[in-house]
């Protein structure tokens, strides 16, 4: 019997999200989440999708990632999906920062672990947690291939002109400062799915992908390869996000230090956790912001306008970067659900060939779909992202190159 299951793990500092997929048909067998690891009130929510999909919850202290994965394994075993099964082909791990070293998904060995560790200074919040996840999974199934799928990999095709900041080259190189970009798994998946929606090969299509979740990033994809993206050395740069500022004059930081007397950590927290939509209006959920706007709330309206203004600037910039644009794809929580954001983002951009059809834009669906008028020069699409499926697909392709032909 061929092993066809892939477990996808997304390990954060105090959480683990997981999905078990059967790659014969990309079917999800179970999904779940362990949160508040290391606290008294840890919680595991597990949903088997094989029959009925009734969720089970466990609230008990879960001391560390090893205990978390053990608890996940127990829940999966109850559904006959145990991680000791010979049907498990590999474990795919989301790893946030692969620097310039990792341009593709990679089977983990000691050298790979050492390199992910070496990158900790550029991803201090994420890579340590990702490493813990890999090591824990290795301990559980030492015989299985563990595959690292990097958020940065899709962006490694960016030309130097887009990836380099205009700062002293030696300083930049010493500290590995450059634009890496994130959400790469999503940008890869969505740009390919957009080409598919248009019935064309990815190599023939230029797409602007707008990944608008709580974190948000834009990318310019030419013929299937990323040529620019809005996040930078860290996920802080670019669009206005739920809690991150995105672009601003870097001198704001010196000003806050010199004049505001703030510490580096305080400014880090301000810009990453207390800025963006939440900083502007106190809410980071677009549904709540739209509700407040409907009630005439001025602060919510201004936050929305600032969000849209930045989004438009990136659309315009990436039209210029690409020269010819075939499609713009909206994805992630806001992009897939918030019709007013999509409408406002392209409003007034007819000169660039962009427009949305109000009726199509109002349709709610989980399927990839076009929302531009039939005669539009540039297709505007809503393409639901699926990072877990992409990680599973890339993982499976690596350990089972024959892919789905089993």
151 is catalytic: yes
At its nearest, how many Å lie between ligand ADP and the CB of residue 225?
24
Which residue in 30, 112, 119, 334 binds ligand ADP (CB under 6 A)?
A: 334
214: contact with ligand ADP by CB under 6 A: yes
215: contact with ligand ADP by CB under 6 A: yes
Which residue in 333, 353, 368, 384 binds ligand ADP (CB under 6 A)?
A: 333
Give the number of residues in contact with ligand ADP, rule: CB under 6 A: 13
Distance CA 2, CA 76 (A): 20
SS3 44: strand
308: contact with ligand ADP by CB under 6 A: no
Distance CA 355, CA 378 (A): 8
- Chain position whose Cβ is nearest to ligand ADP: 333
**261-290 positions binding ligand ADP, by CB under 6 A:** 284-287
330, β-bridge pairs? 210, 382
243: contact with ligand ADP by CB under 6 A: no
At its nearest, how many Å lie between ligand ADP and the CB of residue 340?
8
Cβ neighbors of 346 (< 8 A, separation 6 or more) are 315, 328, 354, 355, 356, 380
HSE-CB at 361 with a 13 A cutoff on CA atoms is 21
Q: Which region, judged by CB under 6 A, interacts with ligand ADP, from 4-12, 195-203, 208-216, 352-360?
A: 208-216
99, 182 Cβ separation under 8 angstroms: no
SS3 letters for 208-269?
A: EEEEECCCEEEEEEECCEEEEECCCCCCCCCCCCCCCCCCCCCHHHHHHHHCCCCCHHHHHH
242: contact with ligand ADP by CB under 6 A: yes
Catalytic annotation, pick one of 64, 79, 109, 151: 151
At its nearest, how many Å lie between ligand ADP and the CB of residue 289?
8
At its nearest, how many Å lie between ligand ADP and the CB of residue 287?
4
Cα-based torsion angle of the residue sequence 234, 237, 238, 239 in order, rounded to the nearest 10 degrees: 90
At its nearest, how many Å lie between ligand ADP and the CB of residue 333?
2
DSSP state, residue 348: T
184: contact with ligand ADP by CB under 6 A: no
Describe the crossing of helices 387-399 and 184-197 by its angle, rounded to 10 degrees: 90
209: contact with ligand ADP by CB under 6 A: no
Binding residues vs ligand ADP (CB under 6 A): 213-215, 242, 284-287, 332-334, 337-338
The residues carrying an active-site annotation are: 151
């Amino acid at each position: 019997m061929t092993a066809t299951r892939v477990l996808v793990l997304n390990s954060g500092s105090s959480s683990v999200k997981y999905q078990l997929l059967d790659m014969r048909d990309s079917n999800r067998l179970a999904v779940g989440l362990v949160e508040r690891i290391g606290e008294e009130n840890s919680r595991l929510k597990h949903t088997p999708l094989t029959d009925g999909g009734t969720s089970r919850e466990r609230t008990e202290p879960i001391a560390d990632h090893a205990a978390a994965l053990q608890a996940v394994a127990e829940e999966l075993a109850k559904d006959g999906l145990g991680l000791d099964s010979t049907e498990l082909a590999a474990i795919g791990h989301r790893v946030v920062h692969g620097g310039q070293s990792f341009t593709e998904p990679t089977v983990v060995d000691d050298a790979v672990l050492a390199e992910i560790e070496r990158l900790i200074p550029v991803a201090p919040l994420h890579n340590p947690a990702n490493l813990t996840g890999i090591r824990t999974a290795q301990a559980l199934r030492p015989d299985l291939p563990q595959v690292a799928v990097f958020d940065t990999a899709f962006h490694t095709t960016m030309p130097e002109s887009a990836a380099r900041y205009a700062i002293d080259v030696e300083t930049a190189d010493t500290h590995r400062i450059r634009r890496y970009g994130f959400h790469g798994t999503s940008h890869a998946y969505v740009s390919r799915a957009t080409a598919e929606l248009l019935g064309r090969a990815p190599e023939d299509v230029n797409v602007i992908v707008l990944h608008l979740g709580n974190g948000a990033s834009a990318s310019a994809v030419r013929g299937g390869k990323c040529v620019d993206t809005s996040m930078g050395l860290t996920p802080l740069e670019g669009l206005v996000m739920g809690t991150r500022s995105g672009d601003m004059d870097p001198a704001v930081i010196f000003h806050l230090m010199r004049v505001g007397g703030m510490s580096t950590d305080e400014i880090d927290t301000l810009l990453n956790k207390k800025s963006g939509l939440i900083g502007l209006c106190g809410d980071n959920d677009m549904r709540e912001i739209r509700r407040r706007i409907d009630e005439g709330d001025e602060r919510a309206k201004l936050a929305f306008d600032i969000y849209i203004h930045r989004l438009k600037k990136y659309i315009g910039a990436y039209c210029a970067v690409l020269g010819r644009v075939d499609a713009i794809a909206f994805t992630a929580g806001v992009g897939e659900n918030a019709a007013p954001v999509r409408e406002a983002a392209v409003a007034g951009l007819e000169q660039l060939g962009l427009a949305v059809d109000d009726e199509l834009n109002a349709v709610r669906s989980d399927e990839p779909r076009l929302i531009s008028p039939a005669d539009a020069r540039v297709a505007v699409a809503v393409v639901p992202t699926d990072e877990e499926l992409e990680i599973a697909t890339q993982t499976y392709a690596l350990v089972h190159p024959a892919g789905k032909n089993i």
